[in-house]
Amino acid sequence: MDELGLLNIVLTILASALLYYLAVSKRVLDLAGGALAFVMGLVVGILGHWTWLGLLLLFVVLSYLATRHRYEEKVALDVAQSHGGRRGMENVIANGYVPVVVAALSFPYPPPLPSLPKGLGALMFVTAIAVATSDTLASELGVFDRRTVWVWAPWRRAPVGANGGVSPIGQGAAAFGAAAIAAAAFVALPLFDGALVRTLPAYVLVCVLGFVGCQLDSVLGAAFENRGWMNGSWVNLLSIFAMTLMAYLLGWLYPTALFLAG
């Protein structure tokens, strides 16, 4: 193992420990969810890169801020996250399963085992985190808007906090969440990882896919979750998977246009 590989492992362990501490101490996750997030962080950091884990940390911080924002008002409106805003293992799996799989597939295995090109893997990973962040911020902040309408019928009013409901505040939060993750990747990955060249096309693509993933989450929520055919975790997982798959297809078809590194 070279020095850079050892440094990546050390930084990954430290960042995973910080992820666990922040998630549990700030009541973002319960103990079981925090433990699973720690393990997922190790997988992402070691098989992907520690900068990828940094994006997970940013997702946790933004989720915490959005969840705790005017929490008492959310309780009064009956739209607050249960258990004091703490999420459990199911939510960790829903938001973290796809990024972990992408990280595992991006590790440079010896032949004949296949691996994703590092740049393509990075694009997919960032997209997955962008979708998760976009949806979380939209869900937590959109409840303060009284102009909520159904995503499939924008002329019809929807109850605040309803699955499939969208609002101007929620849409703005969704756009901000996707852009924040894309901007962090835009700065950090080229400097430390080298897996994603700092280019406008890749940045714009992540912003668009992150935002569209949030809209897909709303559509799935209205079509399936409201009918009891699917719970919120499955809706989150499927929307993240769909946009990550789209990132893979676009990155594979147009690597030169996106300036993806190998």
What's the pLDDT tens digit per position in 19-35? 898 888 888 889 999 99
pLDDT > 70? residue 85: no
SS3 (DSSP) at 71: helix
| Out of 4-8, 12-16, 122-126, 196-200, least confident range | 196-200
Which pLDDT tens digit goes with each residue over 166-205? 999 999 999 999 999 999 998 887 666 656 656 788 889 9
- C-beta separation of 51 from 192 below 8 A: yes
- C-beta separation of 92 from 214 below 8 A: no
pLDDT > 60? residue 206: yes
What is the rounded average pLDDT of the residues 145-174?
91
pLDDT > 60? residue 2: no
What is the rounded average pLDDT of the residues 94-116?
92
How far is it, in rounded angstroms, from Cα 223 to Cα 211? 19
How far is it, in rounded angstroms, from Cα 221 to Cα 204? 26
Range of the domain at 82: 3-258
Whole-number pLDDT of residue 255: 79
| Higher-scoring residue by pLDDT: 134, 24 | 134
- Please give the mean pLDDT across all residues of the chain: 88
| Count of CA atoms in the C-beta half-sphere (13 A) of 184 | 21
What is the rounded average pLDDT of the residues 104-128?
90
| Strands of the 165-166 sheet, one edge to the other | 153-157, 149-150, 165-166
How far is it, in rounded angstroms, from Cα 122 to Cα 128? 10
Whole-number pLDDT of residue 81: 73
The structural domain count of the chain equals: 1
- pTM of the shown model: 0.92
How far is it, in rounded angstroms, from Cα 16 to Cα 224? 34
Whole-number pLDDT of residue 262: 47
Whole-number pLDDT of residue 83: 67
Whole-number pLDDT of residue 201: 86
Whole-number pLDDT of residue 97: 96
Whole-number pLDDT of residue 58: 94
How far is it, in rounded angstroms, from Cα 140 to Cα 210? 16
Give residue 22's Cα distance to chain centre: 17
Angle subtended by helix axes 3-25 and 50-68, to nearest 10: 10
How far is it, in rounded angstroms, from Cα 181 to Cα 95? 14
